[in-house]
Amino acid sequence: MIRADGASALAAPGGRHPGRTGRHADGLIFTGEMYGVQLDQLTTVLDVSQRSVGAIVAKWRTAGLAEAARLGPGPRWVWLTRAGLADCGLQYSPGVPGLARLAHLRAVTGIRLALAGTPQYAAAGAYWRSERRLRAKIGGRLGLREHVPDGEVHWPDSAPVPWAGECWAIEAELTPKTVARTVMIMQELLARTGDYGCPAAQARVLGRPPRHARVIYLCSRAALPTVARARAALGSAGARIEIRGLPDGAELPSAGTTPP
Amino acid sequence: MIGRWLSLLAAQAIIRIVAGAVTLAAALAVTVAAAPVSLVAAAALAIAWLRGWEPRRLFTAAAWCAPMVAVWLVGTARTAPTWQHVAAAPYRAWTGFWHLAATGAVPHAAATIAPVAVPLGLVAGGLAWSYRIRSLAAGAGGLSPAAAVAFDQRQWQRQARAARARIAAPGSVPLTMRNDLIGAGAVIRSVRHRGGLVAAIGYQRLRSHQVVIGTTGTGKTTLLLRLWAGFMATGLRRHAAGLGAPPLLVVLDCKGGSDARRLADRVRRVLRQAGARSTAIWPDEASLSLWSLPPRQLTSTLVDLIEHGTGSAAYYADVMEALVGLAVEAPCGPPVSAADLLARLEPGWLSMAYAAAGTAADHAMIRSASRQLADVALRFRTLFRRLGSGLDGPGGFGDADAWYCILEGTDQIAVAEGQARALVDLLASFAVRGPARREILLAVDEFSAVSRRLPIWQLYERARSLGLAVQVSAQSWQGLGTSPDERLRIAASAEGGIWLLRTPEPEPVTALAGTIRVVQTSRYLRRFPIWSHRGSSRVEEVPVADPNLIRILDVGQTAYIYRGGVTYLQVKRLVAAPAAVGGVPASPAEPPAGLRAAAAPAEVSPRVDAAPPAGVSPRVDAASPAGVSPRVDAGAGRSGADPTAVPLPDISLLLDAAFGPEHSP
């Protein structure tokens, strides 16, 4: 995932640390953006062997930039400390990935990695805007009434793809909600016109182009029927919703998996 | 005998002249001897006179010299062999000053004497300035009694000029300050209030009722914007610190028209900078639901919205209330829209609704009042048509940090009155039964437009317990209410203070500030234009807030009357962020998320670029709506509708590559 020139198709631009290799800096930023990453996924991000990734994480821990621990089934999780987030210029609240969200976090990371692995993504220079970044933009002053997608993919206007200029909302659906709730979320995502963190009055302005040209649902087998029914309930607007299964390796490994 | 008497007179005159000359010479000698102190005192006096300072400011400056004096004394004590040397340090500094000055080392001499001369000079200057002010205020100073008047006018001009200069400095008047203070402007002058440079009021004053009076063009809007932004910023900060509930600002602009729209846009930008994330503009961009009121309250509000006559017309009012009560409190639940209520106001519906669960009294009432149902329905149909759909939901006050409600009080007074009544009822209900507690400030601007049917003083009396503060603003004293009693009730209940801008008749308000005792001196006129300094003095009561001063207030100047004192201040104007360029105009369409899905510009037409470049998806821009937006059905504006009407490029190749083919459920 890290290209030969050291530039990453995964990490946010402008997050390099002058005193650290670009690859490691991108890995740190990726980890910070995604709340936390499991070591096997970090291996893909850094494009190194499993053995090397352990050494890299150990260096991060020694420098006080990251913490690692076994939080659930599968490999260890890595997340950034306050110092690590500050080092990357990410103004997020530090914290250990919540146990209840581990499966979801892994799924979203898997989706991002799968999408970033496509040639179109790299050629277009597409940009992943993580849920953590979106929530940081919204801030915590008011209770959240709006649904925040699990990520956004921005395709630059100049990208050599037919969908250049579009912004996609990404939704990872592991457990089925009710159809009504899913329809509401779909409607909200499709109708949104303003950026996250904008005044509520600008969030949905009729007549303005929608923020999300499409909504991409990546579903587990259990959630697939509900999402499909919700899309059908939307009628013609459902054409802007794509449904796919979760990519391989995006689901949390079973408890018996041998950790690296 | 006569010669002796004349000699005595001449001797007395000579003695007086000599004594005066000796005193003058002695004073001159002391002044010269204490030249450093005299220079500082003269400079302090001149600056205080030029800037219109209070003497207290010079004494404060002298007190701030204490650290310098302490350091100087400590430095002296470290080199002095005995404490007597330390005690004599000022004298030594004085002699040292003259020795150094004689040798031409003036800067060195000034530095030597500064620790002594600066504080003493400031105190001396302060005493002299205080004497001057007090003597003129008592009418005893100056060459003529008119000197006091001229002095006061000049001082006012200098104080106002200094205040204007103070607010011109960036950051000189912060919006929010420590201890939950809200900076309003620079102090010009204060009477019975603590003086200072910055005029600031506590957040709790804005949580109490306030009154603002000022004619058009006096800076009332600037003041209100400052107060609203201060309330919002301080409230949000307190909430973030866990000290209170989140603030909610509700502004009723009872004037309406295009000016109100422009002001609404400015309010939104100012509040945005103050931290408010969402400002809903009603009814242009957001709606509220009257139907969220509890059934009994809804019945009462609906009946109150319709004007009734007196005498025999009261009978019809009772019939109407009974029928509306039946329709609203039906067993199937309250109505959810105006159309729903109108559908219920027919005999068939009421009979069917109460067929199973109604009491005998209900059935009897339906039978007896059925002849009036058509008339009642007609009146409500007319009412709803006049009120518009702004109260037909969805939405509630809890959906935004601030609400700017525009009531067309200039050209549709009756409509504005009804809307104001309904909005206040909705807000009171929200304050009592809202899902989360909020610290609410209800600001009613141009209150006179709706004062006839909005008994704001009733809300005053119960508002504090609801956590709701009311701020009423009007152009004149008469605009506060229809009767003198009502005006007095409103003004007298303004526990948070009264803001008085330039107005031609300030006396009723200034009287509320009370009076202050001052010494007035009458002086004996020897022969024009020479007045003697002899006369008699007496204590008189004069108004704390001078009505004549209120009449000549300049733009942006205001008097804040609170607890028997008054502070005159120059309000610091808030500069809002510039309006968005190229966006949709503020008036027609910016509904807060979740408030409603019903407002859509009628003439919005998507504009598609004629020839998009190859390989690039066509972009769609929203054309600016041409006119005011009538409402459309909720379904039409739903998110599900395809807003672009342009087929999207196929992305299945990409998705198939990343995630595999689409599965069928």
Residue spans per domain, chain B: 2-157, 168-288+395-571, 292-390+605-639
Which residue from B638, B395, B637, B659 is spatially nearest to A233, judged by alpha carbons? B638
β-bridge mates for residue A154, sequence order: A127, A167
Cβ distance of A201 and B399 shorter than 8 Å: no
Q: Distance between CA B440 and CA B459 in Å, rounded?
A: 13
* CA–CA min distance B639, chain A (Å): 4
pLDDT tens digits along B557-576: 999 999 999 999 999 998 76
CATH 3.30.1130.10 describes domain B168-288+395-571 = no
Buried b (16+ CB within 10 A) or exposed e, B290-300: bbbbebebbbb
Q: Are B573 and B222 in contact (CB under 8 A)?
A: yes
> Mean pLDDT across the stretch B133-155?
90
CA atoms within 13 A on the CB side of A107: 20
Mean pLDDT lowest among A138-147, A189-198, B357-366, B655-664: A138-147
Question: What are the CA-CA distances from residue A2 to residues A41, A126, A183, B16, B234 (Å)?
Answer: 13, 14, 37, 103, 47
Cβ distance of B280 and A191 shorter than 8 Å: no
Q: Are B637 and B599 in contact (CB under 8 A)?
A: yes
Mean pLDDT lowest among A57-71, B317-331, B450-464: B450-464
β-bridge mates for residue B251, sequence order: B404, B443
**Does the structure's ipTM exceed the value 0.90?**
no
* H or E element in which residue B589 lies: none
Q: Distance between CA B268 and CA A193 in Å, rounded?
A: 19
Q: Judge whether residue A5 has pLDDT over 50.
A: no
Q: Judge whether residue B622 has pLDDT over 60.
A: no
| pLDDT value of residue B611 | 31
Cβ distance of B591 and A204 shorter than 8 Å: yes
User: Quick check: bond before B592 cis, omega within 30?
Assistant: no
Residue B223 corresponds to which tokens in the numbers above? 């003041």
pLDDT grade for A254, boundaries at 50, 70 and 90: low
Mean pLDDT lowest among B256-260, B422-426, B509-513: B256-260
Q: What is A151-199 written as a DSSP string? A: EEEE--TT-SSTTBT-EEEEEEE-S---HHHHHHHHHHHHH--SPTTS-
Q: Judge whether residue B610 has pLDDT over 70.
A: no
**Strand B210-213 vs strand B498-500: parallel, antiparallel, or unpaired?**
parallel
* CA–CA min distance A58, chain B (Å): 31
Cβ distance of B658 and A118 shorter than 8 Å: yes
> Chain A residue with minimal CA distance to B614?
A162
| pLDDT value of residue B365 | 81
pTM (predicted TM-score): 0.62
From chain B, the residues in CB contact with A119 under 8 A are: 657
User: What number of helices (H) and strands (E) belong to chain A?
Assistant: 10, 8
From chain A, the residues in CB contact with B586 under 8 A are: none
**Mean pLDDT score of chain A:** 84
Buried b (16+ CB within 10 A) or exposed e, B204-220: ebbbbbbbbbbeeebbb
From chain A, the residues in CB contact with B663 under 8 A are: 224, 243-245
Q: Are B571 and B558 in contact (CB under 8 A)?
A: yes
B237, B659, B662, best to mutate vs chain A, most A CBs in 10 Å? B659
| pLDDT value of residue B462 | 72
* CA–CA min distance B448, chain A (Å): 30
pLDDT grade for A20, boundaries at 50, 70 and 90: low
Length of chain B: 665
| pLDDT value of residue B608 | 29
Which residue from A149, A81, A86, A151 is spatially nearest to A116, judged by alpha carbons? A151
Q: Judge whether residue B385 has pLDDT over 80.
A: yes
> Chain A residue with minimal CA distance to B657?
A118
**Mean pLDDT score of chain B:** 83
Name residue B603's amino acid: E
Q: Distance between CA A229 and CA B633 in Å, rounded?
A: 25
> Mean pLDDT across the stretch B9-18?
92
Q: Judge whether residue B587 has pLDDT over 50.
A: no
* H or E element in which residue B518 lies: strand B515-527
pLDDT tens digits along B150-205: 999 999 999 999 999 999 988 889 999 989 999 999 999 999 998 888 999 999 99
* CA–CA min distance A152, chain B (Å): 15
CA A52 to chain centre: 24
Cβ distance of B589 and A164 shorter than 8 Å: no
Strands (E), B424-477: 439-445, 468-474
Q: What is A96-162 written as a DSSP string? A: PPPGGGHHHHHHHHHHHHHHHTSHHHHHHT-EEEEHHHHHHHH-SSS---S---SEEEE--TT-SST
- CA–CA–CA angle B531, B532, B534 (5° rounding): 140
Q: Which residue has the higher pLDDT, B246 or B346?
A: B246
| pLDDT value of residue B514 | 92
* CA–CA min distance A17, chain B (Å): 30
pLDDT grade for B310, boundaries at 50, 70 and 90: low
CB atoms within 10 A of CB B175: 21
Q: Which of B278, B616, B658 sits opposite A199 (nearest CB)?
A: B278
Q: Crossing angle, helix B360-369 and helix B313-328, to 10 degrees? A: 130
- Ranked by mean pLDDT, the top range of B122-126, B257-261, B528-532 is B122-126
